[in-house]
Amino acid sequence: SKVKPIGYPEILSQNLDGDNFHCDLVFLHKPHFELSQYKDFEIPSPPDKDPVVESEKMIEDLRMQHADVLPYEEGDVVERGDSLTMDVKTEVDGSQLEGLTKQGMFYTLGQCTHPEFDNHLLGMKAGDEKSFEITFPDEENINPSLRGKRASFHIVVHMGTKKRPHPLDDELAKK
């Protein structure tokens, strides 16, 4: 057959009946192709990026990657990037949504695909309670039964943590 398989075949089925053996195998093989034009392509150059801005962003990303995580202190409020432990009760059309109702839920701001949800949490403190409503967007990534529906949320924030960027020092360079 002149087939040169790649690796071992995948056995789909095998049957031994007395002196008769039957099996179904799948072989992977290198496809045959002819190389067409491979010279004189016009390759667009990537958009110009300011190397200083890019390197500063990279350094800030590294500082946040190795940041210290600190629990909320007296007076700290929820800000973007914080992580919270909270109770969430969600209702749609007067019925509680089990998948979106949780006690002791761990949540990091920015994790939700609906930015309005995070906006309602901003400024809350540990121990605060808040109720608000949001309309689910009519998008593909939303459960079809929730698209365009109005949901009521009741949130109780228990505690939170903030990330303090790692100082720009030799220790960061070692990490």
DSSP-assigned states of every residue in 85-137? EEEEEEEETTEE-GGG-EEEEEEETT-SS-HHHHHHHTT--TT-EEEEEEEPP
- Give the tens place of pLDDT for each residue, 133-175: 998 888 777 777 778 888 999 999 999 999 999 999 998 888 8
Classify residue 148 as left (phi > 0), alpha (psi -120 to 50) or beta: left
Residue 72, helix vs strand vs coil: coil
pLDDT in tens, 57-105: 999 999 989 999 999 999 999 998 899 999 999 999 888 888 889 999 9
CA distance linking residue 97 with residue 134, whole number of Å = 14
pLDDT band at 9 (very low <50, low <70, confident <90, very high): confident
Contact 51, 149 (CB under 8 A): no
The two tokens of residue 122 are 């901003």
